[in-house]
Structure 1
Amino acid sequence: MDRLTSMAVFVKTADSGSFAAAALAFGISSQMAGKHVSMLEERVGARLLNRTTRRQSLTEIGRIFYERCKALLADAQAAESVAQELSAAPRGRLRITAPVTFGACCLAPMIARYLQAHPEVRVELTLADRFIDLIDEAYEAAIRLGALSDSTLIARPLMPYRLVACASPAYLAERGEPLTPQALTAHECLAFVFTSMPAATEWRFTDDAQREHVVPVSGRFEANDVKALLAAALNGAGIILAPEVAVRDELAAGRLVRLLNGYEAPPRPMHLVFPASRVTPKLRAFIDQVVAEFGPAGT
């Protein structure tokens, strides 16, 4: 006999008070219901039910066993439900949040491919450079830049978020090309301003020997949007320290020139995070595609 079935018959017998009622619920005979309970009693070595001609009642050991069986059967049902859900086709609304620049330049095109592959899903993407609490604000996943704080979220590492210094050919023709980070002090540096803090007054670089260079920078233009800074740089307003994903097309086309060969701005770690409590088919498919397209090299 299957032990889980026997436990289910035992619980139903205890709840209904008779083998007949349990037998009716499971489509078996009263004698078979009794055999299921007898098998359990034989396994545990104790009587679980007090039997009378009219009603079955739990013994002291039976009450303890009954509670454990109910919990075990509930866990088994939950496991089956999760397995069925995970094997189902992705569907429904998926709420995602990401930093503005990465979300617009990289994640949105990926989501278009994701939607094409999963026609029953619709995605709501919120782009924000502020911290968004997934639980409090009811999001299912987030792309996060920088070091992660301790939390109950699952984190999947993605490729590092790299910054590059670049400027337009017109600016460099007028002001000259800086060859070292220290030379930036004599240039117009376009500053990114976060909503919650002032613009950075220092840019950091490491050289090929992993020595750090911290350079004070200044300029006459700052903005809280990379696209605005990029437009200014393309029009010769100064040097931009921008996410590589935002300027790669301009660099490839020659509209911007990459500067400071031999120096690199420290990359920021990037992760996909999501609650550990429940991963639906739509979220699982999204996680798999994000990791496949933006995961670190070798994954």
Structure 2
Amino acid sequence: MDRLTSMAIFVKTADSGSFAAAALAFGISSQMAGKHVSTLEERVGARLLNRTTRRQSLTEIGQIFYERCKALLADAAAAESVAQELSASPRGRLRITAPVTFGACCLAPLIARYLKAHPEVRVELTLTDRFVDLIDEGYEAAIRLGALSDSSLIARPLMPYRLVACASPGYLAERGEPRTPRELTAHECLSFAYTSMPADTAWRFADAQGEQAVPIAGRFEANDVKALLAAALNGGGVMLAPEVAVKDELAAGRLVRLLTGYEATARPMHLVFPASRVTPKLRAFIDQVVAEFGPHNA
């Protein structure tokens, strides 16, 4: 006999006080209900129910066994519920937030592919460089740049967010090309700034000798990478840009990559989400983001 079924019949018998009531609930005979309980008693080597002609009551050992059976059956039901949820088709609204540049350049194309694969899902993507509280603001997942603070969110590491120094050919013809990070001090540097984050005062680079922070200065700062990119393309100065935002401009020669013997310090990037909100639509999204932007792609 199936042990979980026998436990469920035993619990029902104890709750109802009779084999007849348990049998009715499970669609079996009273004799079969009694046999399930007898099989359990043989397994544990002790009587679980006091049997009378009118009512079944728990023995002392039966009471302890009853409590454990209830807990075990609840765990089994929860496990089945999770499995059914995970196997269900993704559907419904999915709310995601991400940094502006990465979201526009990389995440939006991924979402288009995700929606083709899951026609019953609708995605709302909010692009912002501010910190978003997922729980308070009702989002199911976020892409986060930089070191993570301790939280109750689950974090999946993604490939590092790489930065490159670049400038237009026209700017370099006029001002010369910096060969080392220190030479940036003599150049106009285009700085990213945000309401909650002051403009950069130093850029960090690394080579075989280690990492160095280089003071930078310039007369133009903006809170949008597109604005800085437009300034760089028009000879406004040197830009420390997200690689994903300037790869086409570099490939076309409209921008020139600088300091090729150095690596600008990359920023850690993670996908974060609350464990309590992992629905089929979110699970499918997590899997696709990790597959396309996971650390193995670095």
Structure 1: segments with no counterpart, 5+ residues: none
User: Match for residue 259 of structure 2?
Assistant: 260
User: Match for residue 273 of structure 2?
Assistant: 274
Q: Does the 8 Å CA contact 2:159/2:297 hold for their aligned counterparts?
A: no
Q: Which whole-Å CA distance do the structure 2 matches of 1:12 and 1:144 have between them?
A: 49
Q: Does the 8 Å CA contact 2:181/2:205 hold for their aligned counterparts?
A: yes
User: Structure 1's 175 and 226: CA in aligned 2 closer, same or farther, altered over 3 A?
Assistant: same
- Matched residue SS, 1:93: strand
Q: Does the 8 Å CA contact 2:94/2:122 hold for their aligned counterparts?
A: yes
User: Match for residue 131 of structure 1?
Assistant: 131
Q: Which whole-Å CA distance do the structure 2 matches of 1:133 and 1:90 have between them?
A: 24
User: Match for residue 286 of structure 1?
Assistant: 285
Give the letter for the 1:193 counterpart.
A
Deviations 1:71-97 (A, max 9, x none): 111111111111122112111111212
User: Match for residue 169 of structure 1?
Assistant: 169
User: Match for residue 31 of structure 2?
Assistant: 31
Question: 1:92-107 to 2 correspondence within 5 Å?
Answer: 92-107=92-107
Q: Which whole-Å CA distance do the structure 2 matches of 1:196 and 1:212 have between them?
A: 26
Give the letter for the 1:170 counterpart.
G
User: Match for residue 201 of structure 1?
Assistant: 201
Q: More deviation in 141-150 or 19-28?
A: 141-150
User: Structure 1's 210 and 137: CA in aligned 2 closer, same or farther, altered over 3 A?
Assistant: farther
User: Match for residue 44 of structure 1?
Assistant: 44
| Per-residue deviation, 1:179 | 1.3
Q: Which whole-Å CA distance do the structure 2 matches of 1:128 and 1:7 have between them?
A: 53
Give the letter for the 1:266 counterpart.
T
- Matched residue SS, 2:114: helix
User: Match for residue 10 of structure 2?
Assistant: 10
Give the letter for the 2:278 counterpart.
V
Give the letter for the 1:247 counterpart.
V
Q: Does the 8 Å CA contact 2:166/2:238 hold for their aligned counterparts?
A: yes
Q: Which whole-Å CA distance do the structure 2 matches of 1:297 and 1:254 have between them?
A: 29
User: Match for residue 156 of structure 1?
Assistant: 156
Give the letter for the 1:253 counterpart.
A
Deviations 1:92-114 (A, max 9, x none): 11121211111111001100110
Q: Which whole-Å CA distance do the structure 1 matches of 2:209 and 2:127 have between them?
A: 33
Give the letter for the 2:37 counterpart.
V
- Matched residue SS, 2:241: strand
Give the letter for the 1:150 counterpart.
D
| 1:221 equivalenced with 2:216 (yes/no) | no
TM-score normalised by the chain length of structure 1? 0.95
Q: Does the 8 Å CA contact 2:140/2:277 hold for their aligned counterparts?
A: no
Deviations 1:179-216 (A, max 9, x none): 11111111110110132121111111112x14222211
User: Match for residue 241 of structure 1?
Assistant: 240
| 1:90 equivalenced with 2:90 (yes/no) | yes
Give the letter for the 1:93 counterpart.
R
Give the letter for the 1:252 counterpart.
A
Q: Which whole-Å CA distance do the structure 2 matches of 1:134 and 1:177 have between them?
A: 44
| Per-residue deviation, 1:278 | 5.1
Percent identity of paired positions between Structure 1 and Structure 2: 88
Q: Which whole-Å CA distance do the structure 1 matches of 2:211 and 2:37 have between them?
A: 73
Deviations 1:2-59 (A, max 9, x none): 1100011011111111110110111100011011111112222222222221111222
Q: More deviation in 22-31 or 198-207?
A: 198-207
User: Match for residue 113 of structure 1?
Assistant: 113
Q: Which whole-Å CA distance do the structure 1 matches of 2:145 and 2:195 have between them?
A: 15
Q: Which whole-Å CA distance do the structure 2 matches of 1:138 and 1:6 have between them?
A: 43
| Per-residue deviation, 1:298 | 6.1
Number of corresponding residues: 298
TM-score normalised by the chain length of structure 2? 0.95
Structure 2: segments with no counterpart, 5+ residues: none
Moved over 6 A (4+): none
Q: Which whole-Å CA distance do the structure 2 matches of 1:210 and 1:289 have between them?
A: 38
| 1:22 equivalenced with 2:17 (yes/no) | no
Give the letter for the 1:280 counterpart.
T
Q: Which whole-Å CA distance do the structure 1 matches of 2:94 and 2:297 have between them?
A: 28
